[in-house]
Amino acid sequence: MKTTHVQVEGRVQGVCFRDYTQRQAHQLNLSGWVRNKRDGSVEAILSGDDTNVKAMLEWLKQGSPLSRVDNIHIHETTTEEEYTTFEVRY
């Protein structure tokens, strides 16, 4: 099990980025969460099989159809929290 913290910068708010991220995470059987940040970026925690996390990171580099990803920061992390689903946080 791998857990990764991601911050995506660019045109990622107001373009259904979180919804598309949640859909993709479900397809890849990942758990965790995604949320908008005040600075205009999107932040996510991805938890699951290493291969699926890598596939999700590749998807995030492209993003949703109307988004524009300028930069992505990826950090492996550890957490006490256990994730059973992938949710959009507000």
How many Cα neighbours within 13 Å face the side chain of 79?
A: 18
Choice among 11, 35, 36, 52 that is catalytic: 36
Choice among 18, 29, 68, 89 that is catalytic: 18
Instruction: Indicate if 29 belongs to the active site.
Output: no
Instruction: Indicate if 68 belongs to the active site.
Output: no
Residues contacting 50, CB < 8 A, separation 6+: 2
- Which has the closest alpha carbon to 6: 49, 51, 80, 56? 56
Task: Supply the residues annotated as catalytic.
Answer: 18, 36
